[in-house]
Amino acid sequence: MTQQRVIVGLSGGVDSAVAALRLLEQGYAVEALFMKNWDEDDQTDHCPAEQDLADADAVAQQLGIKLHRISFSTEYWDRVFAYFLEEYRAGRTPNPDVMCNKEIKFRAFLDYALSLGADFIATGHYARIERDANGAHLCKGKDLEKDQSYFLHLLDQSQLQRALFPLGELRKTEVRRIAEQAGFVNHAKKDSTGICFIGERKFSDFLAQYLPAQPGEIISTEGEVLGTHQGLMFHTQGQRQGLGIGGRAGDTGEPWYVVDKDLIGNRLIIAQGNEHPTLFHPALTAEQVHWIDPITPELPLRCQAKIRYRQPDQPCTVSATTNGNIQVDFDSPQRAITPGQAVVFYQGDHCLGGATITHANQD
């Protein structure tokens, strides 16, 4: 019987290294691919691709598997970074990880792997795929603290049918233990955090390189001018840090939070207190709805939803609106609903799909 051929995305991190090891143990013919997705002169400081490549190469050599290398930086710029900038330009807060999975890891990488004759691609994501006669179903990883199905909700059947997630049944602590026992050079390597192309830089400094600053007023929910912002793009709903308004006479001493943006007036609206009512909304509207399974759920739909990664599942009802969008009504008001972010739907461990939040609703 011919072995099924898998190309695993080997990033230089511990997760993808253990994913490759598990695939070998499961009897697949395994090769690896190191993807470079960002070109920049000072990349070594902000996105340490050279060290990641060295770690990926060391793991591949130890496992005795071929390591392919390719740059998807053009595809990344066109399909992910351009979207990232356009969303910030529109005053929204995008999630580039979601788009990177859709367009790079499960499109550009998948297309390249298939051109090399692969049957599947694999990644170190903490998620699972269940297959039956009705298709491939995306499910949460067993380690709910690390579950990454939220970031994978835009995948479709053609992508899921060709994907493997070898870590879906494991906890992160087990992955670390397996890597150490295997003697991988990166067994204790820290998990990557943040967005690779920003790295350790201050976010506002990075964004200002691409989008011009547009200073405007910071106002309270009552309309009082409290300060000046350097650009609405530098702020997001629920943000506490970086407002720069300091203490005020008669101030209660409680922190201030971003509660809204006036895009037309270029004003940042803030409120005082962690439980201020303007931070909470019972519903939202979302667009660009994507359902994963071949059979589209009937609306209205009772399910659970997340409006941010690692948020506990929130019971809700999803209904269609007259313009092809959806409204999500939560059983309990949600804090800091953020336009541009994803709302992702679940029934138990089963990820149904998701949509992009356009605005919060009061009812």
- Tell me the catalytic residues: 100, 196
Structural tokens at position 224:
């009082």
Q: How far apart are CA 64 and CA 71, in angstroms?
A: 23
Of 145, 192, 206, 152, give the one whose Cα is nearest residue 351.
Answer: 152
Query: What's the rounded Cα separation, in Å, for the pair 198 and 84?
Result: 12
Residue 336: Cβ within 10 Å count: 18
CA dist., res. 343 & res. 345, Å (int): 7
Which one, of 228, 190, 232, lies nearest residue 211 by Cα?
A: 232
Strands of the 120-122 sheet, one edge to the other:
67-71, 29-36, 5-9, 120-122, 163-164
Tell me how far apart the alpha carbons of residues 319 and 315 are, in angstroms, rounded to a whole number. 14
Contact 351, 153 (CB under 8 A): yes
DSSP secondary structure code for residue 296 in this structure: P
Full DSSP string of 210-257: TS----EEEEETT--EEEEES-GGG--TT--TT------TT--SPPEE
